[in-house]
Structure 1
Amino acid sequence: MPPIRAILFDFDGLIVDTESVGYHTWRQLYAEHGHELAVETYAQAIGTEFNDLYDPRRDLDALMGRALSWPALEVKRLEHERELRKTLNTLPGVVDRLTEARELGLPCAVASSSPLSWVGNWIEQLGLRQHFHHLTTVDDTGKVKPDPSLFLHAASRLGVHPHEVLVFEDSLNGLRAARAAEMRCIVVPGPMTQHLDFEGALQRVGSLAEVSLRELVG
């Protein structure tokens, strides 16, 4: 197996738990309309984007039997989400792993299905920008996970072969993208994804605090 020469980090749910916040606001919106939104249902969109497979707006419209007034509902939901995001910080072990990677001479990049405006603002707000050589987002590739393009683009920017990359992910779509890119992947499930089976992952851990890059690099 080739040595690890670079690290790719997912963003949402891996560096900061924006995904639970998003789910909470959607769950409340469903409840206000007399319906429940199961974690297992919402998890279909974790690590990717709302699409033909799953869109909570389309799903709620179907449950209600009519098209809701989404512009007004989205304004209210996003206001709620902004308030909840104010309490968020980096997840356990993130800064330690970034620091360890720098000490080991392993370049790091973000590879996220979210847009740069979202990822970049968060990375700056969290004070993490100096740790990343590049922020790869959907703006770079036009494709989201489980398509491997984000990971392949990030590896190319770092100047390494896909086989030399270690990916940290929290979602099934992310794991599928890493495997399609032929990269090793350690999965750190969050509250939205802990019920899923991550077969094919190099490891499954409770948090990045449990990972030792020194042991993995050898």
Structure 2
Amino acid sequence: MTGALIFDFDGTLVDTEAAVLVAWQETFRQRGGELPLDVWHTVIGTQHTATAMFELLAKDGEELDTLAIRTGVRARVTELLESEGPRPGVQDYLDDAKELGIRLAIASSSTGDWVTTHLNRLGLAASFEAVLTGDLHEAKPSPDLYLAALAALDLPASEAIAFEDSPHGVTAAKAAGLACVAVPNPITAVLNFDHADLVLGSLADKPLSALLEG
């Protein structure tokens, strides 16, 4: 019996990944360079994005004003996301889960203020019983966020389903013992999701009722 759905946030519920990538690409181009996508793919779903970007940006021991860069990137991301809503099928899943009495949680490697800001912007904050974030728990691919979500819900892994957009996220969910549905976004669609239990182009491809029927 499925008692809860646990969602990753960035790229899964909302396609923030595209905006973050664009903001960093613009930052690199302002400095006369290009951001290698193969490097970007290695940090999706983790807490290492900014660190990896700063390592690439620093040239010949140049000391970067990392605070200014972070602030600029975040402002640009916020601008790009102003009109971005949930990914296709997400609202239907949340509505159907509520109707079926299935509880909802978020397990995100991002910080709590980031996730909360966007949940409030989208009017989704009240939908989730528990929101676990990377500023309080070890980030994916560690299973800690999912284990914390299960503890908050007081449910065993066998009674929850995880939803992820990145291979790191799927690894984390599987390590915590959950079944995991991968819903890659346009950036992560080229990556390997063989370890997921199911891969969907979007949640609109398979209604929650059909998913629960197996």
Output the TM-score relative to the length of structure 1. Answer: 0.90
Shift of 1:80: 2.2
**Residue 113 of structure 2, aligned match among 91, 111, 117:** 117
Shift of 1:25: 1.1
1:165 corresponds to which residue? 160
2:34 corresponds to which residue? 36
Larger mean CA deviation between 167-176 and 131-140 belongs to: 131-140
Shift of 1:14: 0.8
Q: Distance in 2 between matches of 1:147 and 1:166?
A: 17
Q: Distance in 2 between matches of 1:144 and 1:75?
A: 22
Superposed CA RMSD in Å reads 1.8
**Residue 156 of structure 1, aligned match among 151, 172, 179:** 151
Shift of 1:138: 2.1
Shift of 1:168: 0.6
How many pairs does the alignment contain? Answer: 212
State the Cα deviation string for residues 75-130 of structure 1 (Å, max 9, x = none): 33333222212132111111100111111211010111111111112111101122
- Is 1:60 equivalent to 2:77 in the alignment? no
SS at structure 1 position matched to 2:119 = helix
Shift of 1:197: 0.5
State the Cα deviation string for residues 31-56 of structure 1 (Å, max 9, x = none): 2222221333212111111179x611
Q: Distance in 2 between matches of 1:116 and 1:5?
A: 24
Q: Which amino acid is the alignment partner of residue 204 of structure 1?
A: V
Shift of 1:68: 4.3
Shift of 1:188: 0.7
Residues 136-155 of structure 1 aligned to structure 2 (within 5 Å): 136-141=132-137, 143-155=138-150
Shift of 1:150: 0.6
Q: Which amino acid is the alignment partner of residue 35 of structure 1?
A: G
Q: Distance in 1 between matches of 2:41 and 2:113?
A: 23
Q: Distance in 2 between matches of 1:96 and 1:165?
A: 18
Q: Distance in 2 between matches of 1:158 and 1:74?
A: 34
Shift of 1:169: 0.4
Q: Which amino acid is the alignment partner of residue 15 of structure 2?
A: D
Q: Which amino acid is the alignment partner of residue 101 of structure 1?
A: A
SS at structure 1 position matched to 2:209 = helix
**Residue 75 of structure 2, aligned match among 72, 76, 79:** 79
**Residue 183 of structure 1, aligned match among 178, 199, 203:** 178
Does the Cα contact within 8 Å between 2:47 and 2:134 map onto a contact in 1? no
1:15/1:60 CA distance change after superposition, 3 Å: same
Q: Which amino acid is the alignment partner of residue 113 of structure 2?
A: S
